[in-house]
Amino acid sequence: MGAEGPESAVVSAAARILAAGGLVALPTETVYGLAGDASNPDAVRRIFAAKGRPADHPLIVHVAEASAIRAWAAAVPDAAWRLAAAFWPGPLTMILPRSAAVSPLVTGGRDTVALRVPAHPLTRAILAAFGGGVAAPSANRFGRISPTTAEHVRAELGAAVDLVVDGGACEVGIESTIVDLSVDEPAVLRLGAISAEALGAVLGRPVPVVTGGPVKASGQLPSHYAPRAALEVVPAAAFGPRVAALRAEGVRVAAVGHEGEGGVDVAVPTGDAGYARALYAALRAADRAGVEVIVMVEPPEGPLAAALRDRLGRAAAPRHELDRGPLPV
Ligand code: TXA
Ligand code: MG
């Protein structure tokens, strides 16, 4: 990136707004984040208000370089440095004991903090220019689908954000893997593009996945990442006939991932990485079309399959406790 031109203007504008306590939507390789200065309690409060997120759901602090986590964590075990060397910048979040300087607003009152070095070049430049840590949850209303384009953020949060940085469509498309390193036995709390096997290969020990346990991450709530419409996931082979069966009178069906019948057609790529990249935009497109039922073809096998099954399971779960208001378009 050169020192001149539109990109450097965006980088300095974003860094200035963050320093002034404003909110900036930032592109990352996973999903867009709603960023504010993690050291500024007013900025952190604005993030919770914009998302409608309960105060006890902690935020991830994003930093420019792995070495910067020393300022946020009370202790950094060898396992964290090994994972940082292998996967940062990238779609991995580590839970570590928090340093005394971290605001309890960021951690939801916990004694641990979530840390990540994201990979998107624009956001890395903004973090470097800003110089501190930014708290950034996914830039969606609480419980809803994470945004994977700048347009998704504008449509959902619009006026609540001071600047939306457009970094194009997100490369990965689903949220980062979360690994808990604050306990004796590291465990995956949220599945993502970096599999438990990949973490285990670096650590030289199996890393269990505990996403079904007591809620430590809000991505573990039974209903999360949810479209407005009801969602059903069906095997690829059963897809065509099931769509027809579900087309009861007066009910429009979004045939997501299917080229044939249905209220709306959104083609989803057949590989697991392409499916992840397209998933949230497809669910949003179906919601925008006003359908009542989305029938989604099940994800293909591959390294991302477990994370995709996890997201689809939560997106399809009953969600009476959530605000089902219409998505602004
Ligand atoms: O890919 C991502 O991780 C995106 C991009 C923007 O970086 N961010 C993201 O943030 O997904 P959010 O807030 O939507 O999800 C963060 C998850 C939540 O489920 C939260 O409960 C969990 O991380 N979390 C944060 N701090 C935690 C902690 N100290 N212990 C356990 N879970 C924590
Ligand atoms: Mg989220």
Asked which of 104-118, 120-134, 278-292 is least confident by mean pLDDT, the reply is 278-292
Q: Looking at ligand 1, which residue's alpha carbon is closest to its atom 10?
A: 137
Which bin fits 124, alpha (ψ -120 to 50), beta or left (φ > 0)?
A: alpha
Alpha carbon 133 to its chain's center: 18
Tokens 């994201």 belong to which residue? Answer: 118
**3-class state of residue 57 by DSSP:** coil
pLDDT digits (tens, 9 = 90+) for 65-92: 999 999 999 999 999 999 999 999 999 9
pLDDT above 70 coverage of the chain, percent? 84
Residue 120: partners with Cβ closer than 8 Å, 6 or more residues away: 26, 27, 28, 29, 167, 171
- Tell whether the model's pLDDT for residue 237 goes beyond 90: no
Q: Looking at ligand 1, which residue's alpha carbon is closest to its atom 15?
A: 137
- Tell whether the model's pLDDT for residue 324 goes beyond 50: no
Asked which of 184-198, 275-289, 308-322 is least confident by mean pLDDT, the reply is 308-322
Contact 297, 258 (CB under 8 A): yes
Ligand 1 contact, 211 CB (< 6 A): no
pLDDT above 90 coverage of the chain, percent? 67
Ligand 1 contact, 137 CB (< 6 A): yes
Neighbours of 317 (CB within 10 A): 14
Residue 217: partners with Cβ closer than 8 Å, 6 or more residues away: 178, 189, 190
- Tell whether the model's pLDDT for residue 242 goes beyond 60: no
pLDDT digits (tens, 9 = 90+) for 1-41: 445 566 899 999 999 999 999 999 999 999 999 999 999 99
Tokens 């036995």 belong to which residue? Answer: 185
Distance CA 112, CA 93 (A): 12
Pocket perturbation via mutation, ligand 1, pick of 34, 178, 221 by most ligand atoms within 8 A of CB = 178
Residue-level pLDDT at 225 = 79
Q: Looking at ligand 1, which residue's alpha carbon is closest to its atom 3?
A: 176
Residue-level pLDDT at 177 = 98
Cα of 103 to ligand 2 centre, how many Å?
Answer: 20
Tokens of 201: 């290969």
Distance CA 134, CA 273 (A): 27
pTM, 2 dp:
0.90
Q: What's the CA dihedral at 299, 300, 305, 311 to 10 degrees?
A: -10
- Tell whether the model's pLDDT for residue 325 goes beyond 50: no
pLDDT (average), residues 208-236: 74
Asked which of 65-69, 146-150, 166-170, 222-226 is least confident by mean pLDDT, the reply is 222-226
Confidence label for 319 from pLDDT (cuts 50, 70 and 90): low
Residue-level pLDDT at 221 = 64
**Residue of 191 and 244 predicted with greater confidence:** 191
- Tell whether the model's pLDDT for residue 226 goes beyond 90: no
Residue-level pLDDT at 323 = 43
pLDDT digits (tens, 9 = 90+) for 182-211: 999 999 999 999 999 999 999 999 999 997
pLDDT (average), residues 289-316: 89
Cα of 58 to ligand 1 centre, how many Å?
Answer: 7
Tokens of 89: 């910048």
112-116 β-sheet, strand order:
163-164, 24-26, 33-37, 134-135, 60-62, 112-116, 92-97, 177-180, 187-190
Closest ligand by atom to 33 CA: 1
Closest CA to 258 of 271, 246, 268: 268
Ligand 1 contact, 102 CB (< 6 A): no
pLDDT (average), residues 42-71: 96
Q: What mean pLDDT value characterizes the chain?
A: 88
Pocket perturbation via mutation, ligand 1, pick of 99, 218, 224, 314 by most ligand atoms within 8 A of CB = 218
Closest ligand by atom to 137 CA: 1
Q: What are phi and psi of 132, to 5 degrees?
A: -115, -160
